[in-house]
Amino acid sequence: MADEVGVPRDRKILVAVDESEESMHALSWCLENVLFCGDYKDTLILLYAIPPRAVYPTLDNTGHVFSSDFLAMMLKYNKDAADFVVQKAKRMCKEQARDVKVETRIEHGDPRDVICEMAEKLHVDVVVMGSHGYGLIKRAFLGSVSNHCVQNVKCPVLVVKRPRPDDYRSK
């Protein structure tokens, strides 16, 4: 990206991260292939979306009421998982691109909506995300976060597929 005079400007790159190997591969690929080097700095924004909590029935299989302690434990687990993933991603950034400026965001909501909203709110230049590579049937039932973002985010979206072992056949 360059300004009117042709001088490169700093970019904001949003990378969606979660517990999957695909998201960590996308982050690693971004660090190796997307970040600029030189006198200007890109800002990498690591975004983790805590999905909305499931609607828990008030009774379990045995007829016992779920306690508020159980629900609090579930919320703590979600926050701990988000913190763990973000810290892992920050370590990867430090190891692969020592000088990159890293910001982190942990937001609550459907990942599809959170990524789209944060991309617009933060005025990012590009969104980078992994692809789970679901087949047609799984994608129909689970939906595709990457497809939703490609269709709805106003800036470019880079979807990084994780290579399969058979993609590296010797010739």
**For residue range 21-44, what is the model confidence (pLDDT) as tens digits?**
999 999 999 999 988 665 557 899
61 band by pLDDT with thresholds 50, 70 and 90? low
Q: Which of 122, 145, 107 is CA-nearest to residue 20?
A: 145
Report the alpha-carbon distance of residue 35 to residue 113 in Å, rounded: 25
pLDDT number for residue 167 = 59
The tokens 């047609």 sit on which residue? 136
Q: Report the predicted TM-score, pTM, of the whole model to 2 decimal places.
A: 0.81
3 band by pLDDT with thresholds 50, 70 and 90? low
Helices (H), the chain: 21-33, 68-96, 111-121, 136-142, 145-152
Give the best-scoring range by mean pLDDT among 47-61, 77-91, 94-108.
77-91
Report the alpha-carbon distance of residue 86 to residue 75 in Å, rounded: 17
Instruction: Give the total residue count for the chain.
Output: 171
Residues 1, 125 contacting (CB under 8 angstroms): yes
Residues 1, 114 contacting (CB under 8 angstroms): no
